[in-house]
Amino acid sequence: YQSTIMRSCHLPGETIDGYRVNVLANIELFEEVTSVLDHGGEGIGLYRTEYSYLNRNELPSENELFEEYWDLASIVAPERLVIRTLDLGGDKLSDLFGHLEEANPALGLRAIRFCRQYPYLFRTQLRAILRASVTGNVSIMFPMVSGLNELVELKRFVEGVKQELRRENIAYNPDTPIGIMVELPSAVMTADILAKEVDFFSIGTNDLIQYSLGIDRTNKYVSYLYQPLHPALLRSIKSVVDAGHQAGIEVSLCGEMASDPFCVPILMGMQVDNLSINPQSIPGIKRIIRNATMEECAYLLKQVINSSSVAKNNALVQDIIFKRF
């Protein structure tokens, strides 16, 4: 059985009635790229770059990062490599920056806020990404964007780095796509505005659940409230997909939810363009997609989106999915 799933994992993620849902990989380490290829990943939808900064005594150099990104992009070409800029802070702390006195790290100096505090760090990473973009399949993605002003400032920063490279006669792809993680409620609510400023969205449900439901994702005492099928979550995701599509951009989902067999048919019903998940989950999720029809996913979505409680949604989904998949 397992080998049948593995054998079909290199076929495209496409429903019986012809809807394409690309399945990409989330990785944290360069070495995982072999696993992405082995498991049929259609590119890398989320490269969590912070691991190059953890557990070491000095910052990685621009050249070191460049070579890493270039090699990775070359290996997965022509499929895409989405490089997420540093998401340090919160639960990922680097010894290189000393201890931050923060009462609520998840609400503090994290991700792009951290990079804004240390511009030289951000500049080095962006130079490395842009230099690697010459391969033609690299995208930049910003984590934890809270609103338009922040996004405009980020894009201006990227422009500055591009200018610098031009002055130095260093090549980069001027059309490198720029996208954002939609993982804060404020980004969900202004998705229509943000969509006009970026080339793609990727919904980060791990954080979106944390920040929407007000539960620390690392706190075991409240983990029972970590509910992907909460109506607030489903409505948020749906509105982001719709806002993205209205503006003509692709919408991906790269949280754990995208590898949950009970959630995938619902996300498909919302017409999410890409799912990005851990490599080992790709064959199983592709199998679900290839055995589904868009019609039944749309039906399932209609049932759960109109329901008022998590319990009801869990029951509905189990009922339909157990019977069908």
Which residues partner with 27 through β-bridges?
47
Q: How far is the CB of 183 from ligand PEP (least distance, A)?
A: 5
183 appears as a binding residue in the annotation: yes
**In sequence order, which ranges of 133-260 are alpha helices (DSSP H)?**
148-167, 185-189, 191-195, 205-213, 231-246
204 binds Mg ion (CB under 5 A): yes
Residue closer to Mg ion by CB (options 79, 207) is 207
89 binds Mg ion (CB under 5 A): no
Crossing angle of helices 119-132 and 62-76, rounded to 10°: 40
Please name which of 199, 203, 202, 204 lies closest in space to residue 249, comparing C-alpha atoms. Answer: 199
- Which of ligand PEP, Mg ion, none sits in contact with 48, Cβ below 5 to 8 A by type? ligand PEP
197 appears as a binding residue in the annotation: no
Close Cβ partners of 27 (under 8 Å, ≥ 6 residues apart): 33, 35, 36, 44, 46, 47, 48, 279
Which residues, numbered 182-211, are part of the site for ligand PEP (CB under 6 A)? Answer: 183, 204-207
Amino acid of residue 191: A
Cα–Cα distance for residue pair 207/178, rounded to 1 Å: 20
Cα–Cα distance for residue pair 212/84, rounded to 1 Å: 22
The binder of ligand PEP chosen from 87, 150, 273, 296 (CB under 6 A) = 87
279 binds Mg ion (CB under 5 A): no
The H or E element that residue 217 is part of is: none
Q: How far is the CB of 256 from Mg ion (least distance, A)?
A: 10
Q: How far is the CB of 110 from ligand PEP (least distance, A)?
A: 9
Q: How far is the CB of 269 from ligand PEP (least distance, A)?
A: 20
Which residue do the tokens 């851990």 mark? 278
- Which of Mg ion, ligand PEP, none sits in contact with 265, Cβ below 5 to 8 A by type? none
254 binds ligand PEP (CB under 6 A): yes
113 binds ligand PEP (CB under 6 A): no
Give contact residues for Mg ion (rule: CB under 5 A).
183, 204, 207
Give contact residues for ligand PEP (rule: CB under 6 A).
46, 48, 87, 183, 204-207, 254-255
